[in-house]
Each structure stands twice: as structure tokens, then as C-alpha cells.
Amino acid sequence: MAYCLQCGHQAEHKIPEGDHNPRLVCPNCHYIHYENPKVICGAIVIHQDKVLLCRRAIEPRYGYWTLPAGFMEIGETMAEGAARETIEEAAAIAIKPNLYCLYDIPHIGQIYVLYLTELKDGEFDVGPESLECALFEEDEIPWDEIAFEAVKRTLKHYFKDRQTISDHGSFPIHQESIPKDKGIKRY
């Protein structure tokens, strides 16, 4: 059961007049609760050809490895969000951000924006949202324990791109849509 955020009355799912999608609508004050896709910003943080991964201390995907990433906050840019998440998850400073991967995940209403960055001074620790953090060589990546499809794809793009490109500023931007059949659940 859902209640109106505006007046507390019980709200109902219906298509508002002049609209074409069902929304949560309040029959009392007529407030329409729009739900739109969310932006998740993150960073692939590189140090001496290794990638910084964090093992999640929170649900969803507790215990799985991820790149620092999370929901964008109001008042920050996407790159600032990626830097903030890197601090929160790995107590690390991500510098020189370059836009790298963009993923549409329409069936769960998410957009992932990943920046290719470098690790300042090679320093990191374990943030409060992580069980452990570590730098991985390509052949050490725990592919079967990666938390999210967008993270897996970003790692694959990086290891492929770096075979032919050495300067991070010259990496291409990858833009993809991740379909429902990738086994992604809505968390």
C-alpha cells in the first residue's frame, strides 16, 4: 500500500489525464508521484596497471567485488559523484577523471556512468561500505564474483583498450544498453 508524500492519503496507480504511463496518483490532493531512472556514477581507478576493486559490505551483492560506484546525489556532478564513491568505498582519491563507459539499463531504470581515473599516490584503505579493497592485475580479477554486469563490462573494456592505447586520456567512450536477459535483478 502506498501513501501520498504530500498529504498522507492513500494513493492509487492510474494513468493521469494527458499521460500514457501509470503513475502513483493521490485522489485527495491530486499529487502525481513520478518515478524516473536513477544515475549511478562510479570510477575504474588505475594504479600501475592494476585496478582497484572493493568487496561489498552491503546488500545487494554482499561479498561480491565491485568498482566504487553509487547513486548520484543532488548538488554534485557525475565526476564528483564518482570521486565521492571512491572515498566512501576505498578511502582513496580518484584523479584525472575521463568519461569512459555509459550503460542504459532500461528495465530497472538505471544509467551507469563510469570514469577512467588514476589513484592518487597509490593510497587506499577499506571504506565503511567495503569488506576489503585491493589492486588487481588482469589475471587476478575474480570474474565469477563481480557484483554487477556494468562493472564486468567496464573491466573487460579496460583490459581490451589498454592493449592498444597507453594514454588514459585517449581511451574511447563505450556506450551500451544492457538488456534484461543478462540476469540482472532489480535491487
Residues that bind Zn ion (CB under 5 A): 4, 6-7, 9, 26, 28-29, 31
Asked if residue 173 lies in contact with residue 99, where contact means CB atoms within 8 angstroms, the answer is yes
What is the closest distance, in whole angstroms, from the C-beta atom of residue 56 to Zn ion in the complex? 37
CB-nearer residue toward Zn ion: 29 or 58: 29
HSE-CB at 7 with a 13 A cutoff on CA atoms is 11
User: Which CB atom, from 6 or from 98, has the smaller least distance to Zn ion?
Assistant: 6
A 10 A CB-CB count for 141 gives: 17
CB of 132: closest distance to Zn ion in angstroms? Answer: 46
The answer to whether 134 touches 96, Cβ cutoff 8 Å, is no
Question: Nearer Cβ to Zn ion, position 4 or 43?
Answer: 4
Minimum separation from the CB atom of position 20 to Zn ion (A)? 22
Residue 79 Cβ, how far from Zn ion at the closest point, in Å?
37
- Closest approach, Cβ 18 to Zn ion, in A, equals 19
Cβ-Cβ contacts under 8 Å for 93 (sequence gap 6 or more) = 83, 86, 87, 119, 120, 121, 123
SS3 state at 124: coil
15 versus 29: smaller Cβ distance to Zn ion: 29
Nearer to Zn ion, 2 or 7 (CB): 7
Give the C-alpha separation, 36 to 39, whole Å.
10
